[in-house]
A and B are shown apart, each in its own frame.
Chain A
């Protein structure tokens, strides 16, 4: 593993969602690829500006739902028609219309749990500690401030140049994030 940079990245603080969006676009256009943006609420189009295009959550949910539905139906089929066939009101052991409700509920259950756990897993959460929390002003990222960070692992990163670039975006403050 490469020697760890004592600086995790350089962070700029902005006043508005619009300013952050524009700064993120300019930084990405300037060739920085490893960057992230933080905001107190979801901003439409911001993820795309920092080069995030592939959201895998829907796929996870689809797979979860299919597994849930399949499990639900096969479970009922196996239990009611194979392992423990029981004559209920003269209905056939494999009385599929009666199995639809539980199949549906299991689909929703598994898809919903997949959505929640999938979102957490893909986001790398839970992660109680993260270097960005070392910046005292970052506490405002959950209130009314907007932050942009260029990670020191970026190829184009240079402690002086990157800082100067970010300062050119007219942020409120610029600070180094210790790792």
Chain B
């Protein structure tokens, strides 16, 4: 190679798919994970731990049903404890999946093609984990269906002026659309698995799931239209979901909640934590399943940049909250700020600032953005930070509001922790199953990334 070209090739960005792959190798490599690769001991151990954590969650929920929410740390004045903290945390994590699959599709960021499938799966499982909390928090969970407007003999209807009702509709719509988007994306890949497997019963199952997909040009045309429209619908939806979640707080009058910065700052925080979870999942998956060709450093670097950007929006949100606490002249808002910085939960507020604002700034360093291990650790820090953020918002705002006579402290019980860690276990258990049963990377979208897929008119 002539000397003058060398430097220009060196600064080429890392490719989204390693060179040398064909339609055949992409197909074989991804479908082999599901069809031929035996389940290793590592998989069984991981799945087993996650499964046991899920059982722990079911145990904690079973006991909750027996005893009531008194077994949790929630009481007056902090009536919204871990349940709401975890709900918001999980819903937020889900947002990155939709961002990757829908918004990046509309922006024609084709690098998303290798991570959208499992990011969408992550969304679904995170929403499933999130959905548990409000349902078991209602006090009489066997009546949770009262949240939906159904004709009933009591002749009453839900109260649609409440943001909590908006939340019911936003989250259930979000879960439905995410599931459709995910399943819709899987249809052509189910057909691939149907055609690749040798075993009859597996063929039948994947054949049924593929709806008999045969890849007709007319079908592809309608399919792409559907995919694009679902992306267009999911984009405002995902922004609306965390906006509505933030309304749960912002519509109330509690100091620390009643602010207009909440919707954009919640959405940014959601994407921030979601990308952190994507990286925490993608980095081990690409390593263990040898998918470095498809989930390249480019994906990790891009995700790191998204985290850096959304992290700065979150930092701006904190800044505005603090500024408004002072500038509004409202003594309760000012006290909320003081209480965060110096009150009994000050340690956690400072940890939050460290986890969400200061430590992630190391992502400005290119070398760390290219190091999977560093990204994995920073993502973990961000996930902790985002959990603390919701804890600060929910608990620290509630524990000292207007009247000093009604101040109190919040202490989570073992049942709170069991339920929380249990949902992490359930999330991981579903991820483990997903990796073995469904193609973790979208095969047909990977094919379109290959140079052979381009046609000239």
* A→B interface (CB under 8 Å): 16-18, 21, 24, 36-47, 49-50, 52, 55, 57-58, 61, 75-76, 79-80, 83-84, 86, 88-89, 91, 95, 98-99, 101-102, 104-106, 108-109, 111-113, 115-116, 118-120, 122-123, 125-130, 132-133, 138-144
List 13 A–B pairs whose Cβ atoms lie within 8 Å, in order of A's numbering.
A46-B220, A76-B160, A80-B157, A83-B157, A95-B161, A105-B237, A109-B176, A112-B173, A115-B233, A122-B222, A126-B211, A129-B212, A141-B195
Q: How many B residues touch the partner, as a band?
A: 35 or more
Give which listed residue, B162, B240, B455, contacts A104 with CB less than 8 A: B240
* A123–B223 CB distance below 8 A: yes
Chain A residues with CB below 8 A from B244, complex form: 101
Give which listed residue, A45, A47, A98, A138, contacts B218 with CB less than 8 A: A47
- Cα distance, A88 to B157, chains bound together (Å): 13
Chain A residues with CB below 8 A from B11, complex form: none
Q: Please give me the residue from chain A that is nearest to B457 by CB atom.
A: A45
Least Cβ–Cβ distance between A25 and chain B, in angstroms: 9
* B240–A105 CB distance below 8 A: yes
B217 within 8 A of A: yes
* A125–B224 CB distance below 8 A: no
* B180–A43 CB distance below 8 A: no
* B211–A127 CB distance below 8 A: yes
- Cα distance, A105 to B238, chains bound together (Å): 11
Instruction: Decide yes or no: A113 and B169 within 8 Å by CB, A84-B156, A101-B244 being known contacts.
Output: no
- Cα distance, A121 to B423, chains bound together (Å): 37
Least Cβ–Cβ distance between B54 and chain A, in angstroms: 29
B299 within 8 A of A: no
- Cα distance, A147 to B177, chains bound together (Å): 33
* B456–A108 CB distance below 8 A: no
Q: Please give me the residue from chain B that is nearest to A101 by CB atom.
A: B166
- Cα distance, A46 to B456, chains bound together (Å): 11
Chain B residues with CB below 8 A from A129, complex form: 212
* B448–A108 CB distance below 8 A: no
* B22–A113 CB distance below 8 A: no
Chain B residues with CB below 8 A from A21, complex form: 455
Q: What is the predominant secondary structure among interface residues of chain A facing chain B?
A: helix
Least Cβ–Cβ distance between B73 and chain A, in angstroms: 30
* B194–A143 CB distance below 8 A: no
* B457–A108 CB distance below 8 A: no
* A41–B453 CB distance below 8 A: yes
- A17-B454, A45-B455, A47-B217 given. 17 additional CB < 8 A pairs? A17-B453, A38-B214, A41-B188, A42-B224, A42-B448, A58-B225, A84-B155, A86-B159, A102-B169, A105-B237, A123-B218, A125-B212, A125-B213, A125-B219, A140-B195, A142-B195, A143-B195
Chain B residues with CB below 8 A from A116, complex form: 180, 183-184, 226, 230
B23 within 8 A of A: yes
- Cα distance, A79 to B157, chains bound together (Å): 6
Q: Which of B194-219 contact A (CB under 8 A)?
A: 194-196, 207-208, 211-219
Instruction: Decide yes or no: A133 and B214 within 8 Å by CB, A44-B455, A80-B160, A116-B184 being known contacts.
Output: yes
- Cα distance, A23 to B196, chains bound together (Å): 27
* B196–A52 CB distance below 8 A: no
Q: Which of B431-454 contact A (CB under 8 A)?
A: 444-445, 447-448, 452-454
Give which listed residue, B170, B176, B215, B236, contacts A142 with CB less than 8 A: B215
Q: Please give me the residue from chain A that is nearest to B23 by CB atom.
A: A144
* B170–A105 CB distance below 8 A: yes
Instruction: Decide yes or no: A112 and B155 within 8 Å by CB, A101-B170, A142-B192, A143-B24 being known contacts.
Output: no
Least Cβ–Cβ distance between A26 and chain B, in angstroms: 14
Q: Please give me the residue from chain B that is nearest to A61 by CB atom.
A: B229
- Cα distance, A58 to B229, chains bound together (Å): 8
B221 within 8 A of A: yes
* A139–B195 CB distance below 8 A: yes
Q: Which of the listed residues A46, A89, A129 has the most CB atoms from chain B within 10 Å of its own CB?
A: A46
Instruction: Decide yes or no: A144 and B233 within 8 Å by CB, A119-B225, A120-B211 being known contacts.
Output: no
Chain A residues with CB below 8 A from B208, complex form: 126, 128
Instruction: Decide yes or no: A42 and B180 within 8 Å by CB, A101-B244, A112-B230, A120-B211 being known contacts.
Output: no
Give which listed residue, A40, A88, A105, A120, contacts B215 with CB less than 8 A: A40
